[in-house]
Chains A and B, each alone.
Chain A
């Protein structure tokens, strides 16, 4: 076994969010499978009540007619040195072994107390607070699929073949051409490489 990770080719990303929808459909994240009363929640909290393990972010810069638009698809990077893990006061966050497992970082829902420290600690916005369970969840790397020898749902659907999963991510290979505003990989050693 080895560390698993993402291989993302940003020239191929067309910003369509197929990966994000595939993730919601595969993992049944809130609100798509809740039977609680979201109407009430939205009134009470009046803010983001979606739990999205994966999101596509975009940024348009420049002035007319010289413009640049970039997209990036982001989920948990299953870091070698996860900031979320260090921030968790109750030991709910664990990282799998890279010798017997795939190095995935997981949040144990039975232990999570919903303090949201991990949410603040993660530089990539991976932990997602679930208003219904009052706990934090995040991308599991589609562990259920990886364990069955299948690829993560997001990577199977990418229409531009931009987003790929590798079972053998090598930190020593570096992170490729890291996009502007991507948090310094030296902080947490994310398992992602940007290829072009």
Chain B
């Protein structure tokens, strides 16, 4: 067999390894508080190997449970800590956590962590909990190397050369915070920040909006909201990354489960292990789709149980390698694939079937009567013609039919007559209707021109625009392949145990939302949500915000006499904002607006942040604070625009980055404030995703460092202590993000001139408690969380969260509350139970910033090719004959894994992957070099060729997470002062760098920019996703 672990020439360097780093850190100086305590102790095991394994003496180590964040799967983690030195020895999965363990091996939550498992038949019966390791992926285990990364900053640094020059001066925290606060309060005068307008148009809000906070990823949402929204008053308190990852998926799923883009479920996953037939479109659960650990078990368990797997992906991925059918689709046609399936099902598998019965249920009561857990809007009437033109495309409601009554009630049509109006959510009024009665006139007497069709009729009209065979042609597949999948999803032998789901490959397109709406329409057609072996919206877990009254602290409130601020005006990224709300702006700006608006993208628009600053639209920005952010690396087509913007101090007067290392983004900042890793902080990260059928909620807590001077793990955690946290890198070393933001807020001025924003210091919390350090906030988060989970802070910290046994997954009836392991339905823990939506009314009622017209005429899913924001199809012609796609491998999965030598050892570089057919045409073979370029980036990028049979011809694949140019890949020069001794920078002070940290290539800078707005990537005008998979490229052989 071919070895995948081949020679590592200069790709790997042990200087970044954990022991060397520990030694280096230990040698920092006698002044370092943690001094000689860092060395990982080596207990010799006589005569068996050159390497010395970890200790098995359970008296010598402590076990601490927390949450992994090497990806966003948020599995539980188990940290083995040397009690004497505090060093992190090993990372495993948390055996209490359902994500890390199959049902039969999960440690029961009631079991004391210091005791033995006592459960007959349990594989660990009689074993000490402390010795039981949960399952964990390679990335999670390599997290040790993120904490012991020698390129971590060990103090704040301040830029001393021009921005981006790589010249820094280490400074103390006190100096950094004081200087930054003074500059913010000068650039945005504190006295008037909540009263002066930021624009001549008052509707755009106050000057406070000139402070922009962009946590690329944040699990500490409460701190940004508390400080920057409620305490400072900027509308831009949290511009995060979701549009980079999957936003259009979430928006479409929310639309399909609530009819709006602001509520509903963000995920509908398969109950893999129990399913008979699963179709996965553009997602790789055996690689990077999260959470890989439970998904991998679910999928292999399904295979073992005889289930069939279909993978739709241009690339033969590891997931495809487990599939019974691999369909190499043309990228961007995932919605057309779904329409083809819908066409086949409507033509062949609807009439007289369970699906027809399901679709006719128009209310909750009707569904319950049929033992169906969900219902849908297929039979609801929509106005197709009216004397009031603006009513066309809206649901027929009593208000629109009679001029009085509710807008929330609906009508159906049956036996040539309109139904009485009904509330679809009613559990007593059983409403049904016909699917295809044709165009009907509800009130011929009074409103002869008011005509209606059912949602299904409108949907079917879209589906039948092409035949199954014609849809297949759009996808580059065959009618036979589509009918095979259509049969599998509806085969009566499979019962309701079939599922279809997608992720990035389907949605990170300019047509991502329409793709996903088409896919979600098939989810509705097969009607298997909430069925065992069908689909689930996931259980979620306990909340840390005030919910039901059992919790103690309302975190959105301040102490007595303090009123939280309410920011006004649109966000800088215009996400979730409707242009037409700002009437004066519309009057002056007209159509199209000077930059796009994203009324449906309620989760943000990351790619618009920097272009918005560059264009000073909708207003100029004074201060940018970033956190866990990789703008120029992670955003398609942004690198050049980012560097233009960041280097212009008139466009961006102050740029502060919170970052553990000098990364691609923070390299351009004025100040870098080093924060701790995920192994050194508190949070409620909201796990329990990826189709989790039981409440399974981990918490995050520091496992390395000191609390009140004690090495974490050396003494029992005391929630009533002060719990002041100090990094193992010393008192001037990294701080938790919560502490950094708190300290900054404590240095900023209130509008009355006093020092310290509302929400920090004395009287900060609703209980009048003081906010002096991270634990003050964390204990309230954990207190609410524990109360909601009927637990205690001590218990959730001891066990790493609150976890249900997985036998709580199923129930007998669609509304039953009793859990039975043999049941046919998803239990109340993960039940959706609501109305699936084929019709999205806001797509009709919302007007576009581009031309002032409705986005859609009728709100049913439709397939459309990827387009620029001006509505023209993205087509760069035959000069750019290849379609670029990206993916993430199981060994990396994130932009940040290039700091983990174990992972770089598994896969030291990436490639420009081309199909064998195309390689022949190009005259290249493995190891040759290609230049890949696009219309937007004629220079493009170079990469090593990998020829693959497992790739659709015409498609080029480049994996994410390589091609870094910072983070140790290039030297940074440090100029020391007395504040921070140079000994603290063993790696950075010698301007070190290591080429392997920048190995491979990134495709992002080569990606297609929008035709109308050339300083931003092509993007989804609906769900806001940026397009990683819509770039046409040319390839030319080069020598390197």
* Contact A64/B951 with A143-B48, A181-B1 known, Cβ cut-off 8 Å: yes
CB–CB A17/B318 < 8 A: no
In the bound complex, residues from chain B placing their C-beta under 8 Å from that of A177 are none
B382 → chain A closest CB, angstroms: 41
A57 to B6, CA, bound (A): 10
User: Is B303's CB within 8 Å of the partner chain A?
Assistant: yes
In the bound complex, residues from chain A placing their C-beta under 8 Å from that of B42 are 28
Chain A, 117-137, CB within 8 A of any chain B CB? 125, 130, 132-133, 135, 137
CB–CB A18/B56 < 8 A: no
A22 to B513, CA, bound (A): 39
Chain A, 26-83, CB within 8 A of any chain B CB? 26-36, 38-39, 42-43, 46-52, 55-60, 62-65, 67-70, 72
Give 1 or 0 for each of B306-327: 1 = CB within 8 Å of chain A CB. 0000000000101011100010
User: Is B131's CB within 8 Å of the partner chain A?
Assistant: yes
Q: Which listed residue (B1, B136, B949) contacts A63, Cβ 8 A?
A: B949
User: Is A11's CB within 8 Å of the partner chain B?
Assistant: yes
Q: Which listed residue (B40, B53, B137, B951) contacts A18, Cβ 8 A?
A: B137
Q: Which listed residue (A39, A62, A145, A162) contacts B56, Cβ 8 A?
A: A145
* Contact A60/B293 with A32-B17, A39-B15, A42-B10 known, Cβ cut-off 8 Å: no
Interface centre among A17, A33, A67 (most CB of B within 10 A): A17
User: Is B300's CB within 8 Å of the partner chain A?
Assistant: yes
User: Is A101's CB within 8 Å of the partner chain B?
Assistant: no
A131 to B322, CA, bound (A): 38
A148 to B60, CA, bound (A): 14
Q: Which listed residue (A25, A60, A161) contacts B300, Cβ 8 A?
A: A161
User: Is A170's CB within 8 Å of the partner chain B?
Assistant: no
CB–CB B54/A28 < 8 A: yes
Judged by DSSP, the binding face of A is: loop
Judged by DSSP, the binding face of B is: loop
User: Is B401's CB within 8 Å of the partner chain A?
Assistant: no
B201 → chain A closest CB, angstroms: 53
CB–CB B17/A64 < 8 A: no
Q: Which residue of B lies closest to A132 (CB)?
A: B50
User: Is A21's CB within 8 Å of the partner chain B?
Assistant: yes
Interface size class of B (residues with CB under 8 A): 35 or more
A146 to B569, CA, bound (A): 64
Q: Which listed residue (B50, B142, B891) contacts A137, Cβ 8 A?
A: B50
Q: Which listed residue (B136, B144, B292, B915) contacts A157, Cβ 8 A?
A: B136
Interface size class of A (residues with CB under 8 A): 35 or more
Give 1 or 0 for each of A156-186: 1 = CB within 8 Å of chain B CB. 1111111000000000000000000100000
User: Is A16's CB within 8 Å of the partner chain B?
Assistant: yes
CB–CB A156/B92 < 8 A: yes
User: Is B49's CB within 8 Å of the partner chain A?
Assistant: yes
In the bound complex, residues from chain A placing their C-beta under 8 Å from that of B10 are 39, 42-43
Q: Which listed residue (A14, A17, A21) contacts B322, Cβ 8 A?
A: A14
A130 to B49, CA, bound (A): 10
CB–CB B949/A110 < 8 A: no
A125 to B1, CA, bound (A): 11
CB–CB B296/A16 < 8 A: yes
In the bound complex, residues from chain B placing their C-beta under 8 Å from that of A159 are 135-137, 292-293, 296-297
B58 → chain A closest CB, angstroms: 8
A146 to B24, CA, bound (A): 33
CB–CB B5/A144 < 8 A: no
CB–CB B304/A12 < 8 A: yes
Interface centre among A31, A48, A107, A138 (most CB of B within 10 A): A31
Chain B, 13-59, CB within 8 A of any chain A CB? 13-15, 17-20, 23, 40, 42, 45, 47-54, 56
A66 → chain B closest CB, angstroms: 9
Chain B, 512-531, CB within 8 A of any chain A CB? none
Q: Which residue of A lies closest to B140 (CB)?
A: A18
CB–CB A57/B142 < 8 A: no
A30 to B901, CA, bound (A): 11
User: Is A191's CB within 8 Å of the partner chain B?
Assistant: no
A65 to B916, CA, bound (A): 11
Q: Which residue of B lies closest to A130 (CB)?
A: B50
A72 to B1, CA, bound (A): 9
Interface centre among A22, A70, A132, A145 (most CB of B within 10 A): A22
In the bound complex, residues from chain B placing their C-beta under 8 Å from that of A18 are 135-138, 141
* Contact A68/B321 with A21-B141, A137-B51 known, Cβ cut-off 8 Å: yes
B658 → chain A closest CB, angstroms: 29
User: Is B978's CB within 8 Å of the partner chain A?
Assistant: no
CB–CB B2/A58 < 8 A: yes
In the bound complex, residues from chain B placing their C-beta under 8 Å from that of A68 are 321
User: Is A106's CB within 8 Å of the partner chain B?
Assistant: yes
Task: Offer 23 A-B interface pairs, CB within 8 angstroms, sorted by A.
Answer: A16-B318, A16-B891, A18-B136, A25-B91, A30-B14, A30-B50, A31-B12, A31-B14, A33-B18, A34-B19, A39-B15, A46-B9, A50-B5, A56-B4, A57-B1, A63-B949, A64-B950, A65-B952, A107-B48, A144-B45, A145-B56, A153-B133, A159-B292
B contacts, CB < 8 Å to A: 1-10, 12-15, 17-20, 23, 40, 42, 45, 47-54, 56, 90-93, 102, 127, 131, 133, 135-138, 141-142, 144, 286, 292-293, 296-297, 299-300, 303-304, 316, 318, 320-322, 326, 328, 890-891, 901-903, 905-906, 915-917, 949-953
Which 5 A-B residue pairings sit nearest by Cβ, starting from the closest? Answer: A69-B321, A31-B14, A38-B14, A21-B138, A156-B133
